[in-house]
Amino acid sequence: MKLQRIAALTKKELKKTIREPAVLFMIFLFPIIFVFAFGASFGGVGSSQTVTYHIGVVNMDHGSSVNASQTFLAALTDTKIINVHVYADNQTAQNDLSQGNVQAVMIIPSDFSQSLASYQAAPDNPAQWTNTTVSLYSDQGSLVATQAIPPIIQQTLTAMAGNNQQTSSPFQMQTASLAEVKTTSALDFIAPGMFTFASIFLIMMVAQSFTQDRENGMMKRMRITPTTPTEFMASQVISYMGIALIQAALVFAMTYALGFRPSVGISAYVFAFMLVMIFSVSNVGFGLITATISKSAGAATGLSFLFVMPQLFLGTFVGASLSSGAQVAGKFVPSYYVTNALTSLFLRGATINSPAILLDFAIMSVSCVAILTVGVALYAKYYKV
């Protein structure tokens, strides 16, 4: 393998990206415009579908004669919206929250039963009540979780008091952010998906590039030189990884300008950029598959949406309220794991070496290499490289 050839082809590919107006727009300007448009106008996420929220519960209630916390948890389960997972300690629950395994963690205080008993003994005399506080930590990577779960718990607590008309009760609910206390905007929720989003359109670029080179005889000319298929494909992968890196930098700059300020260190950013670069490998693979089945560059543009759309809709809005079917389907596209890892990193406060991020990273890396391998094999079988 000669680096001279790989460097020359990589340079050529980057020049193409900069000099071809259509490519320049699709790869760089479109994601920036998209981020700006969404960031500036995105007003929230709504859904009419019934979904289930998984919450972790650390029950510290010491009630003996009347265990009110059990009644409370049963009432939550009866809502059919909340799925309760009981944890022995707060640390384990918080770990699962940071990994995205549950969407909220609720701490039931030790005097919960006592508080309910005091209320039932003197419902009209607040001075006799033993006031207590239920703490709730929501998944900051999920817009829906932060907005939907607290009211459900609050309503159930109010119902526990036995009088829905009465607004005062001894139970207070305190919501807490897993990360530092800050206001989370809609932009924060969509930003991780934006990083992923930008790179997805490489599929179209790769497919168009290969079909165009095939149509105008460049691929044939390339095959007549001593350039090996490995050198050629290496140059393609390096080029598109570089482009993905630039895209990620541009998207980050735009989201930063719009107010996206995740409370993470520089290593998290480096890791995020690396994720996006590796993710671009799958897009080269999908692009090659598209080029294999496309007769012309025009057809490649249309057919590339077969891969662009699932990656886009199933994989870039992980924090949004997708249907359960879509959530399952999302796990079959690499973009899901990139967005999920970025969400864990930027919004849930998970560390780079946390199991959830490492798992996402591993699944994404393996799938990207597999997709590239399939793409190269298919293209080589039908057209040669």
Partner 1 sequence: MNESSIVIEHLGKKYQDTTALEDFTLQVGKGELFGLLGPNGAGKTTSINILCGLVKPTTGTATVCGYDVLKESAKVKELIGVCVQETAIYPYLTGVENVQLFGNLHAMDKAGLNARRNMLITKMGLTEDAKRRAGKYSGGMKRRLSLILALINDPQIAFLDEPTVAMDPQSRHAVWDFLKELKTEEKTIILTTHYMEEAEELCDRVGIIDHGKLIALGTPKELIAKNQVNNLEEVFLKLTGRTIREEA
Burial 281-310 (b: 16+ CB within 10 A, else e): bbbbbbbbbbbbebeebebbbebbeebbeb
Q: Which is nearer to partner 1, 219 or 368 (CB)?
A: 219
Q: Which is nearer to partner 1, 15 or 261 (CB)?
A: 15
Tokens 């779960």 -> residue: 149
Least distance in angstroms from the C-beta of 236 to partner 1: 14
Q: Which is nearer to partner 1, 114 or 235 (CB)?
A: 235
Tokens 């022995």 -> residue: 88
Read off the amino acid at residue 184.
T
Task: Write phi, then psi, for 66 (nearest 5 degrees).
Answer: -120, 110
Q: Which is nearer to partner 1, 16 or 54 (CB)?
A: 16
Least distance in angstroms from the C-beta of 230 to partner 1: 12
Least distance in angstroms from the C-beta of 239 to partner 1: 13
Task: Write phi, then psi, for 309 (nearest 5 degrees).
Answer: -65, -50
Residue 155 neighbours by CB under 8 Å, 6+ apart: none
| Residue 35 DSSP SS3 | helix
What's the token pair of residue 303?
Answer: 């057919």
Entry field: residues in the chain:
385
Q: Which is nearer to partner 1, 209 or 339 (CB)?
A: 209
| Residue 177 DSSP SS3 | strand
- With CA atoms as reference, report the closest residue to 199 among 35, 83, 85: 35
Q: Which is nearer to partner 1, 226 or 325 (CB)?
A: 226
Least distance in angstroms from the C-beta of 216 to partner 1: 6
Give me the residues that bind partner 1 (CB under 8 A), please. 2, 4-5, 7-9, 11-12, 15-16, 19-20, 216-218, 220-228
Least distance in angstroms from the C-beta of 23 to partner 1: 9
Least distance in angstroms from the C-beta of 19 to partner 1: 4
How is the chain split among helix, strand and coil, in percent rounded to 5? 65, 10, 25
Least distance in angstroms from the C-beta of 13 to partner 1: 10
* CA 167 to centroid of chain Cα atoms: 38
Q: Which is nearer to partner 1, 168 or 216 (CB)?
A: 216
Residue 62 neighbours by CB under 8 Å, 6+ apart: 110, 111, 113, 114
Q: Which is nearer to partner 1, 73 or 237 (CB)?
A: 237
Cβ-contact 101, 356 below 8 angstroms: yes
